[in-house]
Structure 1
Amino acid sequence: MQKDNVRRYFGIALFDRRKEVGVCLGSCPVLFIRWDAKLGDSIVSSWVARELKKCNPEREVWVVTSPSMKDFYKNEFLFDRVLTIKKRPSYRALKILCEEIGCVDYVVHFGKRLKMKDLFFLSRLKTNNIIGLDDKIKLINIKLGGESEKLHFVEKFKLALNKMGVEHPDSSYIVPKNPSTISKLKKKLKLRWPEDKLILCFNPFGSGSSRKMSVDLSVSLINEMLNKSDANIVLLCADDMKSEAQKITHMVSDVQRLYLYDEQSSLDTLVALMELSSGVISVDTATVHIASGLNKPLLGIYNNNPGNYSEWHPNSSMASVIFSSETFVEDVNLLSVEIFGKEFSSWYKNFFR
């Protein structure tokens, strides 16, 4: 942390200068910096290009993102141009990227505390306006940090679009769906459960150790759901958690009512399983945001971190939330099985009975 502070200090000293007004003339694109965005973050901002182009069809909307997210931004989220850069790029790579970008009218960079390389990159860009959350930085001439403090990231992006002339953007998420994957999994689920019963998706594995449930707790929560409902349950997990998930499938009270997808996981399969379900229970925020985009009844499990929650809570009127504990210790394994059972029963009765 101290090294980061020192680098930021030098970054501000070396690169933080106010931009000249009118550097780029004529109709120039809008550029979003999303190189750190993972799946959940990307779903939350999936609508921005659509709404900018709805307001001004002639305006191009570009994005810088990671190579793994390129196809989503290009094919699903309607960006006109997608530039990619690897994690932890060199200064040379950032300089080349700036040259490749050329002139842009607006840059949107929502890093809350910009690092030295962020400052170098922004200082090299040819742009009229930089919209950001780090109000201490001179390069950022449209400062939204204080104005958007404690607002959900959807609202932060809405404010950015307001500054670009989009008054009432529709912030409904774009969730990529693959019809053939949905059809394939529908057949699989029908073979597993021929009778027409309610299906719930459960994801006990979030990113980071503080949001990953233990096998034992996962089993206990699944048993609560099986006991307190007549639903069947699909267990969601990424490939790196498959071994833990397989243990869970052998330990629950009614193995016939639990299903784990046995092939390689992908975004297509995740979305398809959720689309085919009636509701979602999850500790994983990407799953939470996808469920919100699909308008599914949702029971989200969050650690008790008010700052994080205010910015990343489920953006859905069909969502309920349980906090893992009343303390600010971030560990989903502190969640009480008894409290979960009560909250699940209430949620289930509200939506399905």
Structure 2
Amino acid sequence: MLKKFISSIFNRRVNKLSSINSLPEKPNVFINATFQIGDYFAMSPIIEAVKAKWPEANVVVLCTKKNEDVVKYDTRVNYICLPKEREWYKYPTILKKKINCNVDLLIEVSSIEKPHRSIVGFTLKPDLTIGHDCYQHSCIQNPPIQFDNDNISKPECWSKLMAAYGFTQPPALFKVFAKENDKMEMLINSKNLKDYLIFNPFASRNSRSLSIKKSIDILTKLKNDGFNCVFILPSYIKNKDVWESKLAPVSSVCCVDSIQDAIYLIERSKGVISVDTAIIHIASAYNIPTIGLFKESQLECKLWHPQSSKKHVGALTGNVEDIINSRIFTTNE
């Protein structure tokens, strides 16, 4: 409640302009992207719409360490990395120091009912703010056209929203920008990895993750079906040694230090099996066949489902034979 109260104070601001058509030909556009990695992949239609309307716009993304490793390789934008969200009180000093131009347009890509997001608009004082929660907060200009975003993917939501504000409707696609990665190339060569599937059991919450036992069952089925699997093991996992020893008999194990390491492996894979996390969106960006595993309550909600042309959605708690539809990984399906 306190966070909402603080945010309500920060959000007591008004727009000087009411339309994107009132902005200059080369506007300074700031995008508040202080959220997770997957959200950044999903908001690509926003950047595409801005660059299509104003090719010479100065587009600046505000991010944090959570997603900096993907933002900094996006050649469409500049960026400012802010401290972690609980240090939001530091944002004004940093923003005032780093920004020496008028903020023509601010795009809010997530809820501004949290201080680390609402303080951005309060500090920048943009001429116009558009974006998420446009019908809940008066500081965000309503689009002139209403749109339906019922049960569609997140990129489709952003694509329709930008069109409602008067932009040319951009493609509703996840987009990923990768770096060259000699380390992972050497790893692939040293392990002689070819025609492999990526397996990821880890999400940001335990309730969306798989257990070691369920992971072994899934990888055993895929191995029996004739597939070579690569289990990507992030360096931050606390019981990493246990995971590695348990899953090594049924898959190759690749330790990754960053999301860029994972991107490199996914781009070169033949398919992906993952819980609800950014790994699915990376696969969608490369149109790689994907099995997405979700909580029962999310099976009918398409917001974060795989968008690849060959995909399957299963329940985290489902029977392995039912949720792992390996036919999508065959070339003749």
TM bracket, shorter-chain basis: 0.7 to 0.9
Query: Contact between 1:288 and 1:300, CA under 8 Å: does it hold in 2?
Result: yes
Local SS of the residue matching 2:130: strand
In the alignment, the residues of structure 2 paired with residue 170 and residue 296 of structure 1 have an alpha-carbon distance, to the nearest angstrom, of 18
Give the 5 Å matches for 1:291-302.
Answer: 291-302=283-294
1:224 alignment counterpart: 221
CA pair 112-68 structure 1, distance change in 2 beyond 3 A: closer
What displacement does 1:177 show? 4.4
Taking the TM superposition and a 5 Å limit, the aligned residue runs for 1:99-118 are 100-101=98-99, 102-112=101-111, 114-118=113-117
Overall identity of the aligned pairs, in % = 24
Aligned-partner Cα distance in 2 for 1:239–1:308: 33
Match of 1:258 among 219, 231, 251: 251
- 1:44 is matched with 42
Partner SS state of residue 210, structure 2: coil
Q: Choose 176-185 or 202-211, whichever is displaced more.
A: 176-185
TM-score scaled by structure 1? 0.79
- Give yes or no for contact 1:45–1:157 (8 Å, CA) kept in 2: yes
CA, structure 1 residues 165+113, in 2 after alignment: closer, same or farther (shift >3 Å)?
closer
After superposition, what is the alpha-carbon deviation per residue over 1:124-158, rounded to whole angstroms, capped at 9, x for unaligned? 32322211322221111136998535432212221
Relative to structure 1, the CA distance from residue 306 to residue 204 in structure 2 (aligned partners, 3 Å threshold; closer, same or farther) is closer
Question: What is the CA–CA distance in structure 1 between the aligned matches of 2:164 and 2:326, rounded to whole Å?
Answer: 44
2:64 paired with 1:66: yes
Q: Distance in 2 between matches of 1:306 and 1:145?
A: 26
**Cα offset for 1:244?**
3.6
Whole-Å separation in 2 of the counterparts to 1:114 and 1:145: 22
For residues 208 and 77 of structure 1, do their structure 2 counterparts lie closer, same or farther at Cα, with a shift above 3 Å needed?
farther
Are the aligned partners of 1:175 and 1:293 in contact in 2 as well (CA < 8 Å)? no
Report the equivalent of 2:120.
121
How many Å apart are 1:51 and its aligned residue? 4.6
Residue identity in the other structure for 2:325: F
- Between the aligned partners of 1:243 and 1:230, the Cα distance in structure 2 is 26
Q: Which amino acid aligns with 2:279?
A: T
Question: How do 1:268-283 residues align onto structure 2 when only pairs under 5 Å count?
Answer: 268-283=260-275
Partner of 1:239: 235
- Between the aligned partners of 1:29 and 1:161, the Cα distance in structure 2 is 17
| Inter-partner Cα distance in structure 2 for 1:279 and 1:312 | 18
Asked if the contact 2:42–2:154 (Cα under 8 Å) also holds between the matched residues in 1, the reply is yes
RMSD over aligned Cα atoms: 3.2
CA distance, structure 1, for counterparts of residue 120 and residue 185 of structure 2: 45
Report the alpha carbon displacement of residue 91 of structure 1 after superposing the two structures with TM.
3.3
Q: Secondary structure at the match of 2:312?
A: strand
Q: Distance in 2 between matches of 1:184 and 1:320?
A: 31
Q: Is the 8 A contact 1:150 1:307 kept in 2?
A: no
* Matches of 2:102 and 2:18, distance apart in 1: 11
> How far has the Cα of 1:299 moved from its partner?
0.8
Report Cα offsets for 1:284-338 as digits up to 9, x if no partner.
42110111112111111111234994321122222211123xxxxxxxxx23234
Q: How many residue pairs end up in the alignment? A: 323
* Secondary structure of 2:325 counterpart: helix
Cα offset, 1:47, TM superposition? 5.4
1:201, 1:236 within 8 Å by CA — same for their partners in 2? Answer: yes
Instruction: Tell me which residue corresponds to 1:19.
Output: 15
Taking the aligned partners of 1:13 and 1:345, their CA distance within structure 2 comes to 52
Specify the code of the residue in structure 1 equivalent to 2:136.
Answer: K
Give 1 or 2 for the bigger CA radius of gyration.
Answer: 1
- Bigger share in helix: 1
Q: Alpha carbons of 1:164 and 1:60: their partners in 2 closer, same or farther (altered >3 Å)?
A: farther
> Matched residues in 1 for 2:34 and 2:41: separation?
14
Q: 2:83 aligns with which of 80, 83, 86?
A: 86
CA-CA distance at 1:94 after TM superposition: 2.5
Q: State the one-letter code of the partner of 1:265.
A: D
Q: Deviations over 1:51-109 (max 9, x none)?
A: 53244222121111014533532332420x21121122343533552574442222111
Change (3 A) 1:119 1:282: closer
State whether residues 198 and 230 of structure 1, in contact with CA within 8 Å, keep that contact through their aligned partners in structure 2. Answer: no
**2: CA distance, partners of 1:338 / 1:260:** 23
The residue identity in structure 2 corresponding to 1:174 is: V
Q: 1:282 to 1:132 in 2, by over 3 A?
A: same
Instruction: Report the CA distance between 1:189 and its aligned residue.
Output: 3.3
Correspondence for 1:141: 141
d(CA) in 2 for partners of 1:245, 1:8: 40
